Amino acid sequence: MKTVLTIAGTDPTGGAGAQADLKTFMAHKVYGMSIITSLVAQNTLGVKDIMDVTPYFLEEQFQCVFEDIYPDAVKIGMVSQPELIHKIVEQLKKYHAKNIVVDPVMVSTSGSRLLADSALEALKSELIPLSCIITPNIPETEVLVNHTIQSKEDMIQAAKEIQQWYQGAILIKGGHFEKRADDLLVINNEVYWLECEHIDNPNTHGTGCTLSSAIASNLALGYDLKTSVEKAKKYITGALKANLNLGHGSGPLNHCWNL
């Protein structure tokens, strides 16, 4: 069985973070593992509180995973502090981790900051360069390029700007636009649009976590990068269309719609 690791924060209601990632791994029939960066008290209504682990405890978790069950792919989500990013980078290099997908989580849909301002530089200059693909949403892309994005042309321009300091693939997710959910994929200067109508479902908690985990699962299964992203887009679209309705806010996805 192929193995995939998530390095992420938690969601006790299971919609986002490591819990959503593990469900996604299961739905792809890969063996899922998790290194926890932060305990996050959150639900479908928002984030109440965050408790980060220490760099030392992160290292212990890395040792447990990498010296026992080596992952075929790694997805990285919420890492809020620069010290934790430094430690993750050190450990990924130490263990020669491969197929690294970075979802540069910055703010939850409910509006809570999940990345400290002081961590942005480490994210850009240390963690992102280790990845084969990054998956920012529109607000995250705006932070990465330092200007607003209002159209598909702006998305292409932003990808070009990011390519000046990052040579891996870029998936800019279009889920924050109102009418369409078209994602822009750039691999080796080739531009692809993954098009989708805007699905009328208010329950979108954890879409970004789920999409990046699906990409990592597909990479572990041996698909090339483009195919991995295309398959992941189909998976997230199905999970949204399955119309689960749980919780009192923006609810979680139906991760097992395909089983």
> Is 111 among the catalytic positions?
no
Distance between CA 94 and CA 7 in Å, rounded? 16
> Is 196 among the catalytic positions?
no
Q: Which of 7, 144, 240, 253 binds ligand ADP (CB under 6 A)?
A: 240
**By CB under 6 A, which span of 41-49, 71-79, 161-169, 231-239 interacts with ligand ADP?**
231-239
Distance between CA 256 and CA 57 in Å, rounded? 32
Q: What is the CA angle 216-13-204, rounded to 5?
A: 60
Q: Which does 106 bind (CB under 5 to 8 A by kind): ligand LCLJCK34, ligand ADP, none?
A: none
> Is 204 among the catalytic positions?
yes
Quote the DSSP letter at residue 182: P
Locate 87 and state its tokens: 């430690």
Q: Which of residues 74-133 bind ligand ADP (CB under 6 A)?
A: 109
Nearer to ligand LCLJCK34 among residue 87 and residue 205 (C-beta): 205
Q: Are 213 and 226 in contact (CB under 8 A)?
A: no
> Is 208 among the catalytic positions?
yes
Q: Which does 16 bind (CB under 5 to 8 A by kind): ligand ADP, ligand LCLJCK34, none?
A: ligand LCLJCK34
Distance between CA 61 and CA 38 in Å, rounded? 13
Q: Are 71 and 31 in contact (CB under 8 A)?
A: no
Active site residues: 173, 204, 206-209
Q: In the complex, which residues of this chain contact ligand ADP (CB under 6 A)? A: 109, 137, 173-176, 181, 183, 196, 198-199, 201, 204, 207-208, 211, 233, 236-237, 240
